[in-house]
Homo-oligomer: A and B are copies of this chain.
Amino acid sequence: MKTPNPARRSERSRQAILGAAFDLVAESGYARLTIEAIAARAGVGKQTIYRWWPSKGAVFVDAFLSRTSDEEGNLALPDTGDLRADLRLVLRAIVDEYNDPGLDTMSRALIVESLNDPAINTEITARIMEPHLEATRERLRGAQRAGQVAEDADLGVAVELLYGPVYHRWILRTAPLTHEYADTVVEFVLGALRVTQAPR
């Protein structure tokens, strides 16, 4: 196994670069992240990074995904049959993530990058947000089939009703994000989803 293997060496460099990008943002914030700093920390040349990524934003999105995908490789929501319990679990976990200083810094960096650069926005939405939203819609479709959610409820909007309030409070820091808060949002959403939409 000591034979040099270019593919493995390549993968090792890639992982070192992603790890360096993630750690640098956690330590000093996204605004100070540079390709130079990533290269120095990863022990590779800048040209190695530019061969694989067009910008620091692109490196960072991959770094974020590689770090979080271990836990979230399976995006499916829990489905115990108890919609209230399942949604509470999900929303409490999101609150915990936002209260983790490292993940908070990462996530704010993603939003800033996304607001500054529409291309990064598209990538983040397609690769990070949409899969989560779709997994949530899928859980709600199951609840709809089980008769727990109104048949005509617009699930594309329902998922935003679930995540939007937490997101709003997190970005604006208007009030603390607690488990009790997550539970309150879930109660509201359950109430909303049970109601038949009025005709327009």
Contact = CB atoms under 8 A, between A and B. Distances in A.
Interface of A: 31, 84, 108, 111-112, 114-116, 118, 121-122, 124-125, 129-130, 133, 153-154, 156-158, 160-161, 163-169, 171-175, 180-181, 183-185, 187-195, 197-198, 200
Given A157-B185, A168-B168, A184-B197, 9 more contacts: A158-B188, A160-B164, A161-B161, A161-B189, A163-B164, A164-B167, A167-B171, A183-B200, A190-B198
A157 B120 CA distance: 31
A115 B121 contact: no
Contacts of A180: 200
B192 A197 contact: no
Q: How many copies does the complex hold?
A: 2
B133 A174 contact: yes
Contact of A160 (B122, B129, B168, B173): B168
Contact of A164 (B130, B133, B168, B200): B168
A28 to B, nearest CB: 13
B121 A111 contact: no
B125 A173 contact: yes
A163 B156 contact: no
Contact of A111 (B31, B115, B189): B115
Contacts of A200: 180, 183
Contacts of A183: 200
B184 A188 contact: no
Contacts of A125: 172-174
